Structure 1
Amino acid sequence: MKNIGFLSFGHWNPSPHSHVRSASDVLLQSIELAVAAEEVGADGAYFRVHHFARQLASPFPLLAAAGARTSRIELGTGVIDMRYENPLYMAEDAGAADLIAGGRLQLGVSRGSPEQVVEGFKYFGHDPGEGNDHAGMAREHTRVFLEAIDGKRFAQPNPRPMFPNPPGLLGIEPQSPGLRDRIWWGAGSRKTAVWAGEQGMNLMSSTLLTEDAGVPFHQLQAEQIHLFREAWRAAGHEREPRVSVSRSIFPIVDATDHAYFGAQTRSEDQVGHLEGGLARFGKTYAGEVDQLVRDLAEDEAVAAADTLLLTIPNQLGVDYNAHLLDSVVRYVAPELGWR
């Protein structure tokens, strides 16, 4: 069995060719797509977070609203850039949204990816300081966030408070039980996957790896997953970790699918440069169901993961993306033993 969800970057564009022409459109349609995903039998609705861009940026109002409209599916992020976050404020938002959703949040966090502006986190009031770097700052913010949602009590209470306090130091409220076990680290390399395993966070791996070893993407990603699980076991964590991978999967079951994705049936991995180093991008899976089943059966990383996130073309609108999810859940997943 495999959990299947969607991952939306939440693009919006005022072009008449887009079904998502405003920030209001993308927020409201994201909620509607989460509802539709639940109706077709998918397991998760995940949203990307980008700042200074015409994309989804502020996840917690969206997650709370989707949580109030759904009852079963997981609701998550892939990923929140921790360089931009006040970790204690984020802990409050995450606890509240998780309680609204009934404990269904699955929050992907990370150092983040290249952004629209230079050192955008500084505009949000976060500066790593002399001798430190932004990756270290992201990890420090993550450490504080994890401690806060895990119930750490650290704040000295006012001796004459407005309302009575419980005894001892105070922590962030509200607390949502179990949220700490539902935090994922978006790892772009084997090294960061090992670090995530050591910290006791689940692993989230996308269609991009910020390294290249000269092997197909899915094999490099499968090695990343293996190293993560080894690090998890060596650290002595008691629960079983979860692992998600993202894929662009487009079953061609009608003429509209063919018009949109017929030209991508021969997609291959790509290698390029990102932030001064080599990066490997995974291929798109597009084709008729029988061919997709054969291709995906050979994907070692998909086989190793318990959760598959389908990257969707959200600007094609709710109805078409619900159709894509339904095609994967109804036709592809059963043939691969995922359902």
Structure 2
Amino acid sequence: MSRLQQTPFSILDLAPIRVDEASPVHALNRSLSLAQQAERLGFQRFWVAEHHNMDGIASAATSVVLGYLAAGTTRITLGSGGIMLPNHAPLVIAEQFGTLAALYPGRIELGLGRAPGADQATAHALRRDRLGSADDFPADVEELERLLGPRQPGQRVIAMPGVNSNVPIWLLGSSLFSAQLAAAKGLPYAFASHFAPRYVHEAIRLYRENFRPSEVLAEPYVMIGVPLVAADTDEEAEFLATTSFQRVLNLMRGQSLVMQPPVPSMKGLWLPHEQDAVGSFLGMAVIGGPEKVRARLDILLEQTQADELIFAGDIYDEAKRAHSFEILAGLKH
């Protein structure tokens, strides 16, 4: 078997809201449909991410969304990619994910991010008088591990549900900090190369070189994010990818993130420096027909030696998005 065939594939979904929709319920229903498809196709895991004050993303209440997805699937592992820990007291997250783990045993995992994932005004609205920051991340992770682990003698505060659930924890990052922390703690590590590919090679190197085996993990385990637009032809994939290009462009301009339909050409929609910036943002993107996707993934795996790939696919048409992941799954055969 080739490395591509052996490497587990997973999906990261942001529950994108389309410009033609009046309610986020459609986005959430599409997420469930995609999770069910991922389960049928044999994907390893399905993650949703915490984002706030973004009109085009419906997964802000991440643990609630995970409960909805878990109720509509039967086997696939579900998790957060991730929970932005500075926004929450560790006890609250331990209780939420402890509850999910009690309801859906063996299927829930907790990916943790160090960034707030929001602007300052939104962060204040989330936290009010809570003084948590990214600097507290290592201590907050340790507290979460204690709350999700066995109850200790004299432990005054417990998460119920949560205590002794041992919900698996991943550390996520787009820079080097979490790579080093994941290595020190012997935890699996996911790099957000689907939007920040610049440091992916350095982060993976730091993680692997400094990894300390733990009760959780004997060897380092790296998953990297990959934007995916697969179609029957390279030309169709390039057309469909303009939805992602528009979304990233709007993010950089501080404009609405609702998903836009694809366009025949981006000419006239972006300036040259914006085109370069979008290209850098999506530097890890895999866009093309089946053979181009296969070749690109072979190179990506050779360069990174990643243990797992998690794919994000911003495609406007639901059927086209489903077909994109069908093409991806077909590369295993």
Regarding TM over 0.5, the answer is: yes
CA deviation after TM superposition for structure 1 residue 205, in Å:
0.6
Q: Decide whether the 8 Å contact of 1:203 with 1:244 is kept in 2.
A: yes
Deviations 1:16-68 (A, max 9, x none): 2xxx5422222222122211211222222111110122321011122122222
Relative distance call for 1:293 and 1:33 in structure 2 (3 A) is: closer
State the match for 2:231 in structure 1: 252
Flag the structure with larger Rg: 1
Paired letter, 2:90: P
Deviations 1:119-160 (A, max 9, x none): 53332336575xxx721134433332221111344877xxxx
State the match for 1:125 in structure 2: 127
Runs (5+) with no aligned partner, structure 2:
1-5, 243-263, 266-274
Cα distance between partner residues in 2 of 1:27 and 1:198: 36
What is the percent sequence identity of the aligned residues? Answer: 20
CA deviation after TM superposition for structure 1 residue 93, in Å:
0.8
CA deviation after TM superposition for structure 1 residue 306, in Å:
2.0
Runs (5+) with no aligned partner, structure 1:
157-168, 211-216, 265-269, 274-278, 335-339
State the match for 1:226 in structure 2: 205
State the match for 1:59 in structure 2: 62
Paired letter, 1:137: D
Paired letter, 2:224: V
Cα distance between partner residues in 1 of 2:116 and 2:157: 34
Paired letter, 2:37: A
Cα distance between partner residues in 2 of 1:140 and 1:69: 35
Q: Whose strand fraction is larger, Structure 1's or Structure 2's?
A: 1
- Aligned: 1:190 with 2:192: no
Query: Which of the residues 195, 201, 210 maps onto 2:187?
Result: 201
Q: Decide whether the 8 Å contact of 1:81 with 1:138 is kept in 2.
A: no
Relative distance call for 1:209 and 1:321 in structure 2 (3 A) is: closer
Cα distance between partner residues in 1 of 2:114 and 2:54: 18
SS at match of 1:249: strand
Cα distance between partner residues in 2 of 1:76 and 1:203: 14
Relative distance call for 1:208 and 1:4 in structure 2 (3 A) is: closer
Task: Write the mapping of 1:31-70 to structure 2, written as runs, cut at 5 A.
Answer: 31-54=32-55, 55=57, 56-70=59-73
State the match for 1:2 in structure 2: 7
Paired letter, 1:125: R
SS at match of 2:80: strand
Deviations 1:308-330 (A, max 9, x none): 1111116433x332221111011
Q: Decide whether the 8 Å contact of 2:85 with 2:113 is kept in 1.
A: yes
CA deviation after TM superposition for structure 1 residue 72, in Å:
2.0
CA deviation after TM superposition for structure 1 residue 91, in Å:
0.5
CA deviation after TM superposition for structure 1 residue 192, in Å:
2.8
Which consecutive segments of 4 or more residues in structure 1 shift more than 4 A?
Answer: 126-129, 152-156, 234-238, 254-258, 270-273, 300-303
Cα distance between partner residues in 2 of 1:119 and 1:65: 29
SS at match of 1:124: helix
Cα distance between partner residues in 2 of 1:70 and 1:236: 29
Task: Write the mapping of 1:45-194 to structure 2, written as runs, cut at 5 A.
Answer: 45-54=46-55, 55=57, 56-112=59-115, 114-115=117-118, 117-125=119-127, 129=131, 134-153=133-152, 169=156, 171-175=158-162, 179-180=166-167, 182-194=168-180
Q: Decide whether the 8 Å contact of 1:110 with 1:186 is kept in 2.
A: yes
TM-score in terms of structure 1 length:
0.74
Deviations 1:270-302 (A, max 9, x none): 9869xxxxx865232112222222222121477
SS at match of 1:308: strand
Deviations 1:229-248 (A, max 9, x none): 22223779753343211111
Relative distance call for 1:320 and 1:151 in structure 2 (3 A) is: farther
Paired letter, 2:329: V
CA RMSD of aligned residues (A): 3.3
